[in-house]
Amino acid sequence: MRLDIIKKVEGVWTSFNEYCGTGDGTTKEFRTPLTASEARSVLVIRSARAFEMLDPANRLVLLNEKDGTVLRDDADGYKLETRGEDPYLWVVFDQAPGFKVRVSVSCLGRQVGDCFKILPMSTSLKKRIYDKQPEIFRKRDNKVIPSDNDLAELGRVTFQELVTDWGGIEGENGPLPCDTESKKLFLDLKDSTFFGLFITNRSAELRAEGMNSFATDSKNS
């Protein structure tokens, strides 16, 4: 297989907030709107007042403030599974989402609802993001803790660089075009730190898919 390094990389759509259900404090299992055959790099999101991206191996750890000893360490992740003849994917949580906590999923390759077209992370994109991000992230000083404003600005830079189109995003007068000013307006109204992390996650997953696909094609050629 020949790798065409001149060909322009196209963006890929990712859904954002596909509704699965609302927590009641006891239910752990939620049917997603994704069939098992179309599920692609699925990301599970919980939200009440703010969005929270979950890792399957997420843990809930409580430490003693005085000596740092672990008081509680519980699984707080999830698994994805199928159910017999049901073609849809289910998400099963280690702990039941709380009352009125919204459960949703994001899936690469789906242009439904609120969705974003993103570029796979590349060396050149990493360099552009690095050059534009707040200086604190370039100092490589682990003793300096980034402020909320630093994290928000990093999210803005990442979002601007990786998002090439979107759907379902509206302003006061209807759908917004996906341009620099509209992206800024969108992030002014939303949590730019979260959306920066979300887009980074989806972009990295997209890159990983491409690398795995290339490795498989090369092995079979």
* Contacts for 14 with CB less than 8 Å, ≥ 6 apart: 106, 107, 108, 109, 110, 115, 116, 117, 118, 202, 206
Do 166 and 152 lie in one domain? The reply is yes
14: closest CA among 48, 49, 53, 50? 53
Instruction: Strands of 156-204 (E only): list them.
Output: 163-167, 170-171, 174-175
Domain around 209: 1-13+113-221
DSSP state of 136: G
Do 88 and 170 lie in one domain? The reply is no
What confidence score (pLDDT) does residue 68 get? 83
What confidence score (pLDDT) does residue 147 get? 92
Do 9 and 43 lie in one domain? The reply is no
What confidence score (pLDDT) does residue 39 get? 94
Do 9 and 64 lie in one domain? The reply is no
Do 126 and 219 lie in one domain? The reply is yes
Do 21 and 102 lie in one domain? The reply is yes
29: closest CA among 81, 99, 75? 81
Q: How many domains does the chain have?
A: 2
Do 148 and 136 lie in one domain? The reply is yes
Do 209 and 117 lie in one domain? The reply is yes
Do 26 and 86 lie in one domain? The reply is yes
CB 64 within 8 A of CB 114: no
pLDDT tens digits for the chain (221 residues)?
A: 444 444 556 799 999 999 999 999 999 999 999 999 999 999 999 998 889 999 999 999 998 888 889 888 999 999 999 999 999 999 999 999 999 999 999 999 999 999 999 999 999 999 999 999 998 888 776 777 889 999 999 999 999 999 999 999 988 888 899 999 999 999 999 999 999 999 999 999 999 987 665 444 444 55
pTM, two decimals, is 0.86
Do 187 and 165 lie in one domain? The reply is yes
What confidence score (pLDDT) does residue 213 get? 54
Do 189 and 95 lie in one domain? The reply is no
Domain boundary among 97, 112, 127: 112
What confidence score (pLDDT) does residue 210 get? 73
What confidence score (pLDDT) does residue 18 get? 96
